[in-house]
Every structure is written in C-alpha cells, then in structure tokens.
Structure 1
Amino acid sequence: MIVPCQKDDSLLADITSADPVSGAFHVWWLGQSGFLIKWRGHGLLFDPYLSDSLTRKYDGTERPHVRMTERAIDPLRLRGIHVVTSSHNHTDHLDAETLLPLKAANPNLKLVLPEANVDFARKRLGPSGPEMVPLDVGTFAEVGPFTFHGITAAHNDIERDENGHSRFLGFVVTFGDFAVFHSGDTLWHETLVKEVRRWPINLALLPINGNRPERGVAGNLDGFQAAVLAKAISAALVIPCHYQMFEFNTEEPDEFTQTCERLGQRYLVLQCGERHVLGHLTDPSAGDARPTEPNREQGWWV
C-alpha cells in the first residue's frame, strides 16, 4: 500500500506551520479528489474522503474497492477548517465518515454542495452534519474569504433535478488575488472551457482516472484530456487527482505528464500528504487572478 509522504502527526504539524505565511496559499493533496487549501489561516477542504467506508461497503462484492493509499489523517484531527465541498453525491465526494468527524472538530463548518443534492446530503449526514450552502451553475456563494462559483460537470452526463439544478458541479473559488478550479468528477463537455475561462486560473485540480465502462462506474477526464483542459483554460499550474485510491478505478499520471510537457503546460504531481505553496513570494507565474463577479443576480451569502 502507498504510504503518504506526510500523515497523521507530521501532516498535522505541516498544516499548522503553514498558517503564519502571508502572500501565498498552501495546497495539500489528501488522496482521491481531496485537497486542503489554507490561505491566511482559513481552511478549505475540497471533496475529502478520509475513511474506509467504501472498502467496507463493497467488500465481497463484484466490485471491491481495494484501497491503494493509506489514509493521510483522521478527519477528527483536522481543525481550522472553515468550509468543505461536495461536488456530487458519490461517497468518495460526500462521505459521512469523513464529514461528521470533521464537523465535530470544526463546529462552525459549512458544506458547499449542489442545490440539487441538499435533501440527499441531509439524509446521509443527519442532524449532526455541517450547515449546508447550496450552489448551482451560474450562481455564487460567499463563505468567509472564499467565493464559490458553480461550474457544469458531466459525470457521465449533465444531470439536473426537476427544478433544473445540476447534480454534478465543479467549483471556481476566488480568494484574495487567487482563483482555483476544482472540476469535481467530469468528462469533457461543450461549455466547460467557456465557463472556466471567465477567470484567470492560478491552480486547476483535475481528475485523470478516465472513463472505462467495464469498471461499472461513471468516468472522468483521462490524463490527456486533463492536460489539454488545463492548457485550454490557461491554468498557471495543474495538479492531477482521482487516482491511486482504489485498484479498480485508477490510472498512472504518465499520460498526463507527457501531454503537459508536449503542450508546455506547467504541472505538478503531488504525493498524498504533500504540500505545495503558490503565491507572489514563491511562484512568479501565480497570483495574477482578480476576483470577478459573474452571475451575481443570484447568490448565497454566509
């Protein structure tokens, strides 16, 4: 099993030591599609999966979820987290065994999720879950210093509820001078580039596990497509994700890195638990994004 380069005590110490640094933001990959962003002491978690719930659920079935990478940290130990996202309802993106301990450690935690999924999430998480902040394509939500913008995701299709709200989302999050794009789980679709190019993206976090029907699960971008998407949206840096978690649904990042190199696209392959720092002080190509206000006809303030 893959051992995170930092886990438990060492990871927690690294997260804590990052707090005083100004003029930059910090990002850690926590496995699968989970990333921790820290900026000026504020913590944002994208789609964390920090349990073995799926391995237990599918043990002995035709589709066992055999884990490849050890858990980076117990979510009960993660303090200073102000907001967490769930891009859709699949358990590796909406995990009660991650979110409930996280809420216990962070009593004021808020969960940004598709408006279409609020009722489902309430049933899964129960009354002890985080306060929910609904989001849809073309709307925004402000949680502390972070502004979330909903981006259409196709996993595998673009699905909407009876009210027309998207069930799968990506997120562009702006804070200070920065803009980060987390695509959620998605295939390439015709409006994706157009939607995201409204912001100068400092960092894109994109899946690379691909779309193989024989796996029996909805798919994602593959490594080639993720690299091309990063180039198409002019991302200053792209980090791949959604691999090395489950044996049946993974790819290696080789195709992604080779395509990035051919395209001249800056990329970084993180190890689970590894930190990277982006900002004016450390990365001259980052920090050029400016907060924008698309679709402010609708919104949600916290």
Structure 2
Amino acid sequence: MIVAKLKNEDLIREVDSFLNDKKHFHLWWLGQSGYLLQWKGKRILLDPYLSDSLSKKYLTTDKPHARISVLVVKPELLKNISIVTSSHNHTDHLDAETLIPVLKNNPGIQFIIPEANRIFVADRIKCKNDFPIGLNDGQSVTIDGFTFHGILAKHNEIDRDEKSNCKYMGYVIEFGEYKIYHSGDTLWFDGMVELLKPFQVDVALLPINGNKPERKVAGNLDCKEAAELGKAINAKIVIPCHYDLFEFNTADVNEFVREAEKINQPYKVLKGGERFQF
C-alpha cells in the first residue's frame, strides 16, 4: 500500500497551520482527482473521493477496484469548507460516502456541479434538487472570492443533455492573481487548447491514467498527452493526478516526468497528503 505524506489529523494540523497565510495559496492532493485548496483562510474541495465505496461495490465483479494507496483523510475531519465540486457523475468524482459527511459538517457550504447532472446528484447525495449550483461550459459563478469557469470535458465522448448542458466538465478556478485548471476526467478534444490558452493557467491538474478500453472504464489523457497539453496551454506548472488509487486503472508517474522533462514543461509530482505552494 502506497503511504501518504500526511494523513488524517496530521494533515489537518498542517492545513490549519497555514490558515493565516495571506500571501500564498496552498494545495493538497487527496488522491485520485481530489484536492484541498486553501487561500486566505478559505477552503475548497475539488472532486474528493475519500472512501472505499467503489472497492466494496466492485469486490466480486470482473472489474475489482483494489485500492493501492492509503486513504488520505476521513471526510468527517474536513471542516470550514466553503465550496466543494463534482466534475461528473462517476463515483470517484461524486461519492456519497464522502460528500454527505462533508456537507453535514460544513454549514453554508456551496456545491458546484454540471447543470446536466442536477437530478442525479441530488438523488445520490440526498439533497434538495435546488441545492447544487449548476454550470454549463462557458458559464461562470463567483463564490466567496473564487470564480469558477465551466470548461468542456470529453469522457470518452462530449456528452450533453437535451438542453445542451454538458455532463462532463472541468473548472478553471480564478482567485486573486491565480488560476488553476482542474480538468476533471477528460481526453484531448478539438478546440481544447484554444479554449484554455486565454485563461493563462498557473497550475493545471491533469489526469495521466490514459485510455485503455480493456479496463472497461472511460479513459483520460495519458502521461504524454498531459505533459503536452500543459505545454500547449502555457501552464506554468502541471500536477498529475488520477493514478495510484486503483490497481487496474493507474499509470507510472515516472513516465509523465520523462515526458514533461522532454519538452521542458514544469511539473510537480505530489504524494497523497502532500502540499504544493505556488
């Protein structure tokens, strides 16, 4: 089992220690595509998956989700969260066992989702239909000093509902002088670079597990594509994610490192529970 840099109470103590930092933002990788962002004492959760719900669900199937990294933090330990996001309906991005305790323990929290997924989300996390804030691609919302821009994603297709709301999304999060791109799950698609380049992204959080049909799950960028996308959009730094959680659906992050160094794309590889400061 891959160990975490920090976990549970030790992680929370580190997060709390930067609560009064007014100059920098801090970002902790929580595993898979989950991150905790803290800036000027405000905290945002991005696509957290902090349970073993998928391992239990698929235990006796032909697609076992065997965990290979320790759980970084119990969801009930996460307090003072202003905003939480889900980029799409797959459980590792919309997990009831994670989100229900997070919503319960953080009164006043705002929940950002793709508008197309509203009914599904409300049913899964047992909330009122009008509770989540729904975005479509090209739309934005500002909450507590953070502006979320909805970005189209392709997983494995560009999929929209009958009202043309997209079901798979990423977000560019703009706060102060910074911009972070959290892609959610996505493949490269036509127009992606032209869509993202004007944002002048500082940090791109990109999946690297690739697209292999034999896994019987929707795919993502691979190591080479993640490095090249970062370069194409002029991201100041790429942080890889969506690997080292499930044995059947991972990638070798060293391959990403080689690809990034080959094209001089700055990057940072994090361990679970490790902090990044821009």
TM-fit CA distance, 1:128: 7.3
Q: Does 2:37 align with 1:2?
A: no
1:66 aligns to 2:66 (yes or no): yes
**Could you tell me how far apart the structure 2 residues matched to 1:65 and 1:127 are?**
27
Q: How does 1:9-24 map to 2 (within 5 A)?
A: 9-24=9-24
Task: Indicate the residue corresponding to 1:250 in structure 2.
Answer: 250
Contact 1:206 1:239 in 2 (8 A): yes
Deviations 1:223-256 (A, max 9, x none): 0000000000100111000000000100111221
The answer on whether the counterparts of 2:122 and 2:128 sit within 8 Å (CA) in structure 1 is: no
Letter in 1 for 2:103: K
CA apart distance, 1:105: 1.3
Equivalent in the alignment of 2:269: 269
C-alpha root-mean-square deviation of aligned residues, in Å?
A: 1.1
Residue of structure 2 equivalent to 1:44: 44
Report the counterpart of residue 225 of structure 2 in structure 1. Answer: 225
CA separation in 2, counterparts of 1:58 and 1:262? 38
How many angstroms does 1:198 deviate by?
1.6
State the Cα distance separating 1:141 from its structure 2 match: 1.1
Instruction: Answer whether contact 1:108 1:130 (CA < 8 A) is retained.
Output: no
Map of 1:296 onto structure 2: none
CA distance in 1, matches of 2:171, 2:59: 32
Residue 107 of structure 1, CA deviation: 1.3
Deviation at 1:110, TM superposition (A): 1.2
Unmatched tracts of structure 1, length 5 or more: 279-302
Aligned to 2:142: 142
Q: Measure, in 1, the Cα distance between the counterparts of 2:120 and 2:127.
A: 13
Q: Shift of residue 3 of structure 1?
A: 1.4
1:28-107 correspondence runs (5 A): 28-107=28-107
TM-score normalised to the size of structure 2? Answer: 0.98
- Matches of 1:233 and 1:61, distance apart in 2: 40
* Amino acid paired to 2:99: L
**Structure 1 residues 128 and 15, CA gap change in structure 2 (3 angstroms):** farther
Distance 1:79 1:30 in 2: 15
1:121 to partner: Cα distance:
0.2
Q: Is the Cα–Cα contact under 8 Å of residues 100 and 129 in structure 1 kept in the other structure? A: no
1:35-65 Cα offsets, whole Å, 9 max, x none, are: 1110001111110000010000011111010
Q: CA deviation at 1:127?
A: 2.8
* Structure 2 SS opposite 1:245: coil
Q: 2:9·2:77 contact (CA, 8 Å) conserved in 1?
A: no
Helix, strand or coil for the counterpart of 2:198? coil
Give the superposition deviation at 1:108: 1.1
Aligned to 2:216: 216
Would you say the 8 A contact 2:118–2:129 is kept in 1?
no
Indicate conservation of the 8 Å contact 1:41/1:80, yes or no: no
SS at match of 2:123: helix
Identity of matched residues, % = 48
What does 1:122-201 correspond to in 2, within 5 Å? 122-127=122-127, 131-201=131-201
TM-score by length of 1: 0.90
Runs of 4+ in 1 over 4 A off after TM superposition: none
Q: CA deviation at 1:191?
A: 1.6
In 2, Cα distance between equivalents of 1:131 and 1:102? 14
SS at match of 1:113: strand
Deviation at 1:135, TM superposition (A): 0.5
For 1:174 and 1:56, the matched residues in 2 are separated by 36
Q: Which amino acid aligns with 2:22?
A: S
SS of structure 2 residue aligned to 1:269: coil
